[in-house]
Amino acid sequence: MRDLPPLRQVPFRNNLVKAVLGVAALSVVGSLTWMDFHRGGRPRDAGTRMRELARQMKEGDADHRTQTLLSLYGEITGPDDFEAIFPGIVEATEDPSGPIRQAAALGFCELISRHVWTPLVPRKPPAARIVALCPRAAVVLAPLLGEPSLAVRTEVAKALGTVAKTGGLDVPPPELVACLDDQEGQVRAAAAGALIRFRSGPERIVPVALRRLPTEGPGVAREYERIFSNVRLEPSVLPLLIDGLSSEDPRVCFCCTIAINHMGRDATPALPAILALLRKKLDSPLPWEDDRIIAFAAGAVGEIWQDPPPPPGAVEILCELLRRESEPTSGPDGSPPSSSSGGPGTMMGRQHRHEQVQGEAAFSLGILGHQAAAAVPVLLTTFEKTPVTSDHLRETCAEALAEIVRGTPDADRLITALKDAWPMATPSQKKVFARALRSLGPDVEGRVPELRQVPPDGSRTEIRRVLYPRSEGEKGRRE
């Protein structure tokens, strides 16, 4: 555990301090303490063993009871034991003695990490009786978030996330939401990670995250970015996200942009604000500084657009992104240019970020389809200028063009461009070019005999919106 307070600040006796701070090795401690408590040998009968543990959690001095609680990780070996000892743990967490409560909390959290399954770990699902205990476990854990120990608050927050996911819990306890403003960053990060496991938890994070991000430390800020990047938020927070697009803080702006991108067509009201953000970035003296933001904003145009025609200026802005020059290889004074999306980097890294922006712009133009007919010359130029080694951008341009020109006279221009590009294309590109060409009509194969090299495989175009998951750990899928 990181950032533990100095020992002199913890109101435990020395041997108790060692026990609490040794929680990472509880399986070893459990075996040793059990031998100490039972000099006559370990009982073979599970029921006898659980009754003895329950008795020792109530009897003896504080040190003795604390060591018993901390030994649970090594002594509880399965769901039957967990269920049997649960009432005793609940009682210990309500003990008037602070050291005993905190030991019970740490021991309980270790048991949860071992016996309460989460989908992020490839493990057999828990027994139904363990799932049934999760709501009660959340009630027991929540008050422990008020304990003075940093270690206890951190571990309890993590354990709440586990029981929420396993038990399918809906509303997070208010104590967990309040931990987003805890004085310790370690607790704030753990609380944020736990809240997204509750069904209505992610939306509780948004107002606090947007308020704290400008002054938040890097560790917690990365946790917020991870959440905004991996969980599809509900439309109820869309007004907050739209307001955040105008923030001068790049982290706030990025989180709001990617959240709107992932919200899909539920975020259609945000389209004017997304276009205003892109215009602002394009007019910036150094527009490549915010390539992460620009890329997700460009992709958001296609992800959230719903009703034709597209808003005025949308196609023009996306075309400007395609025509935009790559980041220069040096600053005005000859030094490497800085970038909020990765700092000074190699020329290859800067080119990759530039192509990500172009690829997202091409994707959105493809989603707009015939509505983006004015973009055909720019897309063709981008396709022809892109290096042969840049599979993703060349493939995206080809499929976007196919979506736009299908059934129009411009289809001939695309057929010619792809036929000319075929000899130097990589195997990956040939597969995508073949798919794009076949989508233009059955007569294309006669005009492009090279298509016979790549038989149809039934795959679909990548120019489709992504349905992002509601829960972290799940994968998005294209429409």
**pTM reported for the whole predicted model:** 0.81
pLDDT over threshold 50, residue 133: yes
In a domain, 358, yes or no: no
Q: What is the DSSP string of 111-123?
A: HHHHHS--TTS--
Q: What is the pLDDT of residue 360?
A: 97
Q: Which of 66-75, 186-195, 352-361, 446-455 has the lowest mean pLDDT?
A: 66-75
- In this prediction, residues 438-462 reach a mean pLDDT of 91
Q: Which domain holds residue 116?
A: 1-200
pLDDT over threshold 50, residue 219: yes
Cβ contact 444:424 at 8 Å: no
- In this prediction, residues 432-452 reach a mean pLDDT of 92
Q: What is the pLDDT of residue 290?
A: 84
Q: Which residues contact 51 (CB under 8 A, 6 or more apart)?
A: none
Q: What is the pLDDT of residue 235?
A: 95
pLDDT over threshold 60, residue 346: no
Q: Which amino acid is at 268?
A: T
Please give the radius of gyration of the chain, using alpha carbons only, rounded to the nearest integer.
29
Buried b (16+ CB within 10 A) or exposed e, 386-399: beeebbbbbbbbbb
Q: What is the pLDDT of residue 270?
A: 97
Q: Where are the alpha helices (DSSP H) in 14-71?
A: 14-21, 26-37, 46-56, 62-70
d(Cα 119, Cα 161) in Å, to the nearest integer? 12
pLDDT tens digits, residue range 283-333?
A: 886 655 688 999 999 999 999 998 888 889 999 999 999 998 765 544 545
Confidence band (pLDDT; 50, 70, 90) for 76? Answer: confident
Q: What is the pLDDT of residue 85?
A: 83
Q: What is the pLDDT of residue 328?
A: 56
- In this prediction, residues 341-364 reach a mean pLDDT of 77
d(Cα 97, Cα 57) in Å, to the nearest integer? 13
Is 454 strand, coil or helix?
coil
Q: What is the pLDDT of residue 31?
A: 38
pLDDT tens digits, residue range 412-441?
A: 999 999 999 999 999 999 999 999 999 999
Name the DSSP letter for residue 344. S
d(Cα 203, Cα 215) in Å, to the nearest integer? 21
Token match 């006559």: residue? 40
Q: Which of 19-23, 378-382, 403-407 has the lowest mean pLDDT?
A: 19-23
d(Cα 68, Cα 423) in Å, to the nearest integer? 73
In a domain, 186, yes or no: yes
Q: What is the pLDDT of residue 37?
A: 35
CATH of the domain at 173: 1.25.10.10
In a domain, 158, yes or no: yes
Confidence band (pLDDT; 50, 70, 90) for 1? Answer: very low
In a domain, 191, yes or no: yes
Q: Hey, which of 38-47, 214-223, 225-234, 240-249 has the most confident mean pLDDT?
A: 240-249
pLDDT tens digits, residue range 366-385?
A: 999 999 999 999 999 999 99
In a domain, 129, yes or no: yes
Angle in degrees, CA 138, 139, 140, rounded to 5: 90
In a domain, 323, yes or no: no
State the DSSP H helix or E strand holding residue 477, giving kind and residue range, or none if neither.
Answer: strand 477-478
Q: What is the pLDDT of residue 81?
A: 81
In a domain, 209, yes or no: no
Q: What is the pLDDT of residue 10?
A: 34
Percentage helix, strand, coil for the chain under 3-state DSSP, each rounded to 5: 70, 0, 30
Cβ contact 77:31 at 8 Å: no
Cβ contact 289:244 at 8 Å: no
pLDDT tens digits, residue range 386-400?
A: 999 999 999 999 999
Q: Which of 137-141, 161-165, 305-309, 370-374 has the lowest mean pLDDT?
A: 305-309
Domain count along the chain? 1
Q: What is the pLDDT of residue 116?
A: 73
Cβ contact 224:252 at 8 Å: no
Q: What is the pLDDT of residue 16?
A: 39
Name the DSSP letter for residue 246. T
What are the start-end ranges of the E strands in 320-364? none
Confidence band (pLDDT; 50, 70, 90) for 2? Answer: very low
Q: What is the pLDDT of residue 479?
A: 75
Cβ contact 177:214 at 8 Å: no
In a domain, 264, yes or no: no
Q: What is the pLDDT of residue 7?
A: 28
